[in-house]
Amino acid sequence: MTDFSIRPIKESDKESWLKLWEGYLVFYESTLDDKVTETTFARFFDETEPVYAVVAEATDGNLIGFVTWVTHRSTWAITDYIYLHDLFVAPDSRLHGVGRKLIEYVYGVGNETEADRVYWHTQVHNHRAQLLYTKVGKRDGFVVYRWPES
């Protein structure tokens, strides 16, 4: 494992990010229409959108991970909440602190913007990630419901 740094995503990262994004979707056994992926990537660079991303870049220039988040209002706070939406680290770069550094980056954004909280969800079966999450965050005990069901 090489050293890495965390930096804002650039438009020139698109091809490398798409490879990681595809790995993320495969991990969650999901598919998305290409238009959704294109729109998501474009939102990272649209100043009117509250959608953000940073990447983990190895010293050799390869992208090895990313995190995305959205900011939103809450009826329970004056300042925004940050929802950490997507977190993915390439399989061969896991267990080297990449995921933790990506989460800590978002915590830094929360501090800078005085966000009331940073929160996220994960699937019940994602035990490996939960080993990290219980070290860097606290389970809130909520159960998530959604509509439509699919």
Q: Which domain holds residue 131?
A: 4-136
30: in domain: yes
Give kind and range of the element (H or E) at residue 83: strand 81-89
Q: How large is the average pLDDT for residues 43-50?
A: 98
pLDDT tops 80 at residue 9: yes
For the stretch 55-70, pLDDT in tens is 999 999 999 999 999 9
Q: pTM here?
A: 0.93
100-118 pLDDT, tens digit per residue, is 999 999 999 999 999 999 9
Q: What are phi and psi of 30, to 5 degrees?
A: -125, 160
**Residue 87 β-bridge partners:** 67
Tokens found for residue 1: 């494992």
For position 62, which CATH number holds?
Answer: 3.40.630.30
Predicted pLDDT at 128: 87
Q: How far apart are CA 137 and CA 150, in angstroms?
A: 28
What are the tens digits of pLDDT across the range 18-43?
Answer: 999 999 999 999 999 999 999 999 99
Cis link prior to 148 (omega < 30° from 0)? Answer: yes
Res 74 pLDDT > 90: yes
pLDDT at 131: 87
Q: How many domains does the chain have?
A: 1
- Classify residue 144: in a domain, yes or no: no
